[in-house]
Amino acid sequence: MPKLDESLLSDLPPFSLLERSQIREILDHAVSRRYEEGTAIFREGHDADRFYLLLDGYLRVVRTTPGGDQIIVLHISPGQLFGIAPALQRDTYPATSIAAAESIALSWPVSLWSDFTANYPGFATESYKTLGQRLGQIQETLTEMATQAVEKRVACALLRMVNQSGRKTAEGIEIAFPITRQNISEMTGTTLHTVSRLLSGWQKDGIVQSTRKHIVVTDPHQLVLLSGMQG
C-alpha cells in the first residue's frame, strides 16, 4: 500500500489539533481497505477488534430490534470515525456497519484507542463529541418511529440523507449514495409497499424523482413541509 499523506487527516476533527509528525505516527499504525457496496465491515455483537475512519464513500449503520427486525439507524459520511466500541466501554460492536457505496476506510487495532485518546490533543474530545451526536441522531430516529405518522417519518429520513450527502443537480438535490426503497423502509420502520406508495405519490406531485437506487429531491421545501420540521 502506498504511504498515505498526512494531509488526508489534518482537516478532520479528531486530528485537526495535531502536528503533522503526530498524524504520521497515527497513519503508520493504520491499515487501509476498500469495501464494495453492500459489504459488512463489521457486525453487531461481534468482538470489537478494530476501530475505523471512513476516507471515502458512505456507510449504513444497522441495528437489530428485540423482535429481530433490521433498522438503519444512521448513515456515516467521509471523514468520520466509526466502530468506536471502546468509547462506549464495550468490547463488542453495538451495530452492523455496511458500505452504502464503494468505500475506503482506515482502521487501527482497538488496543491503540487508549493510547490515541491519552496522547493526542483533541482526539478524545472530538471522538466523544461525535459519539454524542450519533447517539442523539439514533434517539431521534427511534422516537420518530415510535411517535410519527409514516409520511412524516419517510420525509424526515429523506431530509436527513439530503442534509448529510446532498449535491445539487439540474433536477434538484441528489442523495449522493445508492438508496433503495427497502433501505428507506428499514430506516423508518414501515413496509416496502408503503414506502413505494409514498414515493410514487411524491413523484407525481413533483417532490422527488426516484429510480432504482437513486433519489433526487426536486422540491425540498415541500418535503420540509411534509416532515413537519419547518419553523
Q: CA-to-CA distance for 75 and 98, rounded, in angstroms?
A: 10
Q: How many domains does the chain have?
A: 2
Flag whether 2 is in a domain.
no
Contacting residues for 181 by C-beta, under 8 A, at least 6 apart: 192, 195, 196, 199, 210
Flag whether 176 is in a domain.
yes
**pLDDT tens across the length of the chain (231 residues):** 557 788 888 888 889 889 999 999 999 999 999 999 999 999 999 999 999 999 999 999 999 888 888 899 899 999 999 999 988 889 999 999 999 999 999 999 999 999 999 999 888 888 888 888 888 888 888 888 888 899 999 999 999 999 989 999 999 999 999 999 999 999 998 999 999 999 999 999 999 999 889 999 999 999 999 998 654
DSSP-assigned beta bridge partners for residue 74: 61
11, 104: one domain: yes
26, 117: one domain: yes
- Beta carbons of 30 and 106 less than 8 angstroms apart: yes
Q: Identify the CATH number of the domain in which residue 125 sits.
A: 2.60.120.10
pTM value? 0.84
31, 109: one domain: yes
81, 170: one domain: no
Residue 136 grid cell:
442523539
Last residue of a domain, one of 114, 140, 166: 140
Q: CA-to-CA distance for 97 and 187, rounded, in angstroms?
A: 14
102, 155: one domain: no
106, 219: one domain: no
Q: Identify the CATH number of the domain in which residue 183 sits.
A: 1.10.10.10
Q: Terminus-to-terminus CA distance in the chain, angstroms?
A: 50
Closest CA to 163 of 200, 217, 203: 217
Residue 138 grid cell:
439514533
pLDDT value of position 2: 58
65, 171: one domain: no
What are the start-end ranges of the E strands in the chain?
31-35, 40-42, 50-56, 59-64, 70-76, 81-82, 96-99, 103-109, 167-168, 173-174, 208-211, 214-217
The residue range of the domain holding 161 is: 148-227
DSSP characters for 135-199? HHHHHHHHHHHHHS-HHHHHHHHHHHHHHHH-EE-SSSEE-SS---HHHHHHHHT--HHHHHHHH
pLDDT value of position 231: 42
